[in-house]
Structure 1
């Protein structure tokens, strides 16, 4: 083996290792998130480019909106993977304000054509209900949930730009 081929072999190996390290960092770092609020709801926005609706999970638990994206690599005929830098399992979390009282059962999730995930969670106005049940706000001002309540992967329809409920099961 001459020096040039040895250098290319070592260079390729290092390049792949950097790609794997980059992918590993992506998978362990939370996705950036925006939380917006109006009089009637909270809007939680994650960037999720390249995400297919069936690869997405949305959960609500004690004032936290959590998402998980499980992506799969596409292989292209005639091409070799040189730099596997994109994370395949991505997580994101948004913590609603401490005084947020919401109705996660009425929440909706929307995946746009541009790959933005928009989760709308309506505020719950307990004064209008007049009754006190198990879904009344807790002392912390959050919606009382018994356990983590995942949505189904099919909770977002196959068509982008369509809305689907953020389902919660008690």
Structure 2
């Protein structure tokens, strides 16, 4: 093995380790999120680039919107993986305001072409009358997760 081959081998090993460390950090850091509100709905927006609709799980649990993304790395013919830096398992969480009364079973999620995950959770109109019992653990509808432009 020549010195050039040794240098290339060591460089490739170090580069891969840095990439794995970066994806490991991504796995344990929550995704960026915005929480928006209008008169009828809370909108939770996550940045989720490289995600396909089947990769997304959304739950509402005790005032929190939680997402889990399990994405897959596509292999490209003729290319070698040099830097595996993107996390494949990503989590995100957004806390709604303490006084938020919502209908999580009516929640819907949409994924934009650019990888923005938008979750709309309607406010519960019967909450003001004291008649509503909000499910504290609900799946947000992702079976029909659409890709919007």
Partner of 2:2: 2
With the length of structure 2 as denominator, give the TM-score of the two structures.
Answer: 0.90
Partner of 1:132: 131
* Cα distance, 1:117 vs structure 2: 0.9
In 1: Cα distance, 2:142 partner to 2:45 partner? 18
Between Structure 1 and Structure 2, the one with more strand by share is 2
Q: 1:48-67, aligned counterparts within 5 Å? A: 48-67=48-67
Q: How many residues align?
A: 149
Specify the SS of the correspondent of 1:154: strand
Structure 2, unaligned runs of 5 or more? none
| Runs of at least 4 residues off by over 4 Å | none
Asked if residue 95 in structure 1 is aligned to residue 95 in structure 2, the reply is yes
In 1: Cα distance, 2:139 partner to 2:30 partner? 18
* Cα distance, 1:92 vs structure 2: 0.4
Check conservation: 2:51, 2:71, Cα contact below 8 A. yes
Check conservation: 2:60, 2:104, Cα contact below 8 A. yes
Partner of 1:140: none
The superposition leaves residues 63-88 of structure 1 with CA deviations (integer Å, 9 ceiling, x where unpaired) of 00011111111111111111111000
In 1: Cα distance, 2:47 partner to 2:122 partner? 21
Asked if residue 161 in structure 1 is aligned to residue 148 in structure 2, the reply is yes
With the length of structure 1 as denominator, give the TM-score of the two structures.
Answer: 0.80
Partner of 1:149: 138
Check conservation: 1:55, 1:153, Cα contact below 8 A. no
Specify the SS of the correspondent of 1:35: strand
Q: 1:94-133, aligned counterparts within 5 Å? A: 94-126=94-126, 130=129, 132=131
Structure 1, unaligned runs of 5 or more? 136-142, 163-170
Partner of 1:42: 42
In 2: Cα distance, 1:97 partner to 1:19 partner? 37
* Cα distance, 1:151 vs structure 2: 4.7
* Cα distance, 1:107 vs structure 2: 1.2
